[in-house]
Structure 1
Amino acid sequence: MPIRLIANALLFQAAWFACVMGGTSWWLLIPTAALLIHFIWISSWAAEGKLVVSVALVGAAIDSFLLQLGVFDFASTDTLVPIWLVLLWALLATTLNHCLAWTAKPIWLASILGAISGPLSYFTGSALNDSVMLPLGTQHTALILAPIWALIFPLLHGFAHLYREQFRLLQMSRRD
């Protein structure tokens, strides 16, 4: 496995733990550094900036909507998701073309993995951080999150594919 794929996975995991465990403290420097390292060494802002911003915005909107519905409860906010969760979405975007690229095809694989790993991520975050609560309980939350993530994960891979193609065409047109 190439070193950059391993680095991408390790950066994501380290940043995930820093976000979940640190919340809004100085720990947020770790995911910020992970994003910078990603854009400097693994990819580039030109190649993946649009993807990272899009996924962060979509994820923040979805999770904010779920917060308003009472699926989540964050001790620090009751209107929009906390910044550390937006960073997690941005970090997830950095994995779509790299360490998680294998999950894109076939599409049913992305759906199944999304339905399982999406809710598990929230459950783990809730177990590790007292300020992340699931008021509906684990079972009801799973019944809500699993179908959402079964749709979201393939959609995010669709964003990644679309933006990859746009970047490839842009690079080709610049060579001509």
Structure 2
Amino acid sequence: MHRDFWINQGFFQAAWPACVIGAAYGQLWIGLLVVGAMAVWQLHPARRHPQDLRMLAVCVGLGILLDSFWVRAGVLAYSTAWPSPGFAPLWILLLWVALALVINHSMAAFKQRLLLIGLLGGIGSPMSYFAGARFGAVEWLAPAWAVVLAVGLSWALLLPFLFWLSRPEVKASAARSSLTTDNAGVETE
């Protein structure tokens, strides 16, 4: 493990308290500063992985969908719900950005350990949301067992999917499947 690994993981570990505690106190700038610095560092051409931008798009898209779903379904409510209380707030989307920026870097080993990352996500995510609630960044609106089950199960499935999606062979397979064959048997794009 070299310096870039530790800097990437350090930014990731700093992102959660910066975003969550910052949101609890209405201070979005703290999370913006930490995750922004992480993005500048990790997306520098010397350190950027070829799939980083793709994973950023996928993670932010899934973050908008999943965390907006929790709000709309009456499972969770987020403090500092900017830009709108009916959708995933900016601070939680910053956490999705941070996740996207470790998948191909300091946490890349999980690409070959999908069951383990699913187990860790299923256990760790409800704990993370619980800690966020203790700080005042999120409120559990549903019964605790329902939040733990819904959040834990979703992350137990979502994390292995994200790490699987970032594998090089998945990208190559997707590229091959985008080719079609015309009537003469010639592959065209």
Which amino acid in 1 is paired with 2:167? H
Name the structure 2 match of 1:141: 147
Secondary structure of 2:17 counterpart: helix
State TM-score, norm by structure 2.
Answer: 0.78
Equivalent pairs, count: 166
Whose Rg is larger? 2
> Which range is displaced more, 1-10 or 40-49?
40-49
**TM-score, scaled to structure 1:** 0.83
The reply to whether residue 51 of structure 1 matches residue 55 of structure 2 is yes
The alpha carbon displacement at 1:140 in A equals: 2.3
How far, CA to CA, are the matches of 2:46 and 2:147 in structure 1?
35
Structure 2, unmatched stretches of 5+, are 176-189
Q: Alignment RMSD, CA only?
A: 2.3
Alpha carbons of 1:146 and 1:25: their partners in 2 closer, same or farther (altered >3 Å)? Answer: closer
Q: Which amino acid aligns with 1:159?
A: L
Q: Is the 8 A contact 2:49 2:104 kept in 1?
A: no
Aligned-residue offset at 1:139: 2.7
Higher relative contact order (CA 8 A, sep 6+): 1
Asked if 2 retains the 8 angstrom alpha-carbon contact of 1:4 and 1:42, the reply is no
1:25-174 mapped onto 2 (5 Å cutoff): 25-27=28-30, 28-40=32-44, 43-44=47-48, 46-77=50-81, 78-128=85-135, 130-161=136-167, 165=171
Residue by residue, what CA displacement relative to the aligned partner does 1:37-89 show, whole Å, maximum 9, x if unpaired? Answer: 11127732754111112111112211111111111112333311110111100
Partner of 1:172: none
The structure richer in helix per residue is 1
Q: Which runs of 5+ in 1 are unaligned?
A: 170-176
